[in-house]
Structure 1
Amino acid sequence: MAKFLYVYHGSGKMPTEEAERQAAMDAWTNWYGKLGSAVVDGGNPVGMSKMVLPGGKVENNGGSNPTAGYTIVEAKDIDDAVGKAKDCPILMDPAFSVEIAPIIEVM
């Protein structure tokens, strides 16, 4: 099985109400449960990023497609990884997307 990186992109905000936060956590827990042992690293949400550009210029805007978090999964191939991502709870918000890339082991 190969490993794949799911990078969550979007500009949505974390829920502020406790009931909404709990519903979101339950959705993630259920999705991870469905994926089972395919989840190598459940990942985490991430904060606003900075971009370092050639010449040392720094942009503090999170980039054109801000990263919201990540997960690492195992799958047979990228099509299998794409299939597993289709039920990701982050996709309930149309402001988000899941980018999927194979992890290339070099060592």
Structure 2
Amino acid sequence: MTETKSTRVVRRGRIFPEIQWTEEQKAQWETEGENLYQRCKPIFDKVKSELIETHYNWYMTVEPDSGEYFVDRDLEVVWLRCREKHPGKIHHTFRINETGACGTI
């Protein structure tokens, strides 16, 4: 018996084409993100001081329309909780620490 060799070509690199955004689309996306942050930040600031003592470096996801927030040690769990309660809504995630940021650049 003879063996047949596979002629399948392994694709390397990007599978999806790059998104081509205009400058206006980029500016709109950044503005929407900043607006979401500005709506969620007061909710985070209100509860940060009491949560920082017991849940330091945990994650907090805020849904701005309802004002509800979800806290968990695991980032994916906190996202899942928020999505289950508010499907289709956009939320913002903070880290419960002095800055609310997840890391430094």
Which structure exhibits the higher relative contact order, with contacts defined as CA atoms closer than 8 Å and separated by 6 or more residues?
1
Greater strand fraction, Structure 1 or Structure 2: 1
Greater helix fraction, Structure 1 or Structure 2: 2
TM above 0.5, one fold?
A: no
Bigger radius of gyration: 2
> Taking structure 1 as the reference length, what is the TM-score of the superposition?
0.29
> Taking structure 2 as the reference length, what is the TM-score of the superposition?
0.29
